[in-house]
Chains A and B, each alone.
Chain A
Amino acid sequence: DAGVIQSPRHEVTEMGQEVTLRCKPISGHNSLFWYRQTMMRGLELLIYFNNNVPIDDSGMPEDRFSAKMPNASFSTLKIQPSEPRDSAVYFCASSRTLDYGYTFGSGTRLTVV
């Protein structure tokens, strides 16, 4: 089992550009979560899906952020346009159901200059 796979591992982009982060959950896991990690705020839940359906997106900071899960094996988090304050490590996690523990990916370190 390769675990939760995120790509890219690192992303450096200029302010105003569109950024797309990708996540492949563990096969058979029905729940997927996007978290953002910063020094100031720690780990913040942005959005989570259950059976490909968004359940709670109240953590999405603003309209510039959007997330999709077109099928059980893939999710994207998009920022358009990106801003320097979006710089953070973005983690994806999956779990078998909402009742199970989470498995985290290695994260994407985003730097917006």
Chain B
Amino acid sequence: AQRVTQPEKLLSVFKGAPVELKCNYSYSGSPELFWYVQYSRQRLQLLLRHISRESIKGFTADLNKGETSFHLKKPFAQEEDSAMYYCALKGRNYTGANSKLTFGKGITLSVRP
């Protein structure tokens, strides 16, 4: 079974403050991790995926297999970062085919001026 845990529902910070959105996962095989973002009343959009090892809009996330975590970080938050963020996991079964994408419950990031 695959599970994604986002322990916090809301994070409120001031503009310019560092941000860390926590994500922990449970999966017995080799996972692929993602962060999706949903701005107010918009569709979900892929923010980044761990295999790309890239920084998008100043956000980064490192897969830590020892801690089974994939926390999303940004050193200086901007007001336009205010949104709902979902961590997601896609597993690979032993035949190599990917399975479905499982989401955490999401966290609302609020960046105040």
Contacts and interface: CB of A to CB of B under 8 A. Distances in A.
Interaction A to B: yes
A42 B43 contact: no
Contact of A101 (B43, B46, B100): B46
The DSSP consensus for interface residues of chain A is: strand
A104 B105 contact: no
A106 interface: yes
Interface residues of A, number: 19
B86 interface: yes
B44 A91 contact: yes
The DSSP consensus for interface residues of chain B is: strand
Interface of B: 34, 42-46, 49, 86, 97-106
Contact of B98 (A33, A45, A98): A98
Given A104-B44, A104-B45, A107-B43, A42 B103 contact: yes
Contacts of B101: 33, 45, 102
Contact of A43 (B43, B99, B103): B103
Contact of B97 (A45, A91, A99): A99
B46 A102 contact: yes
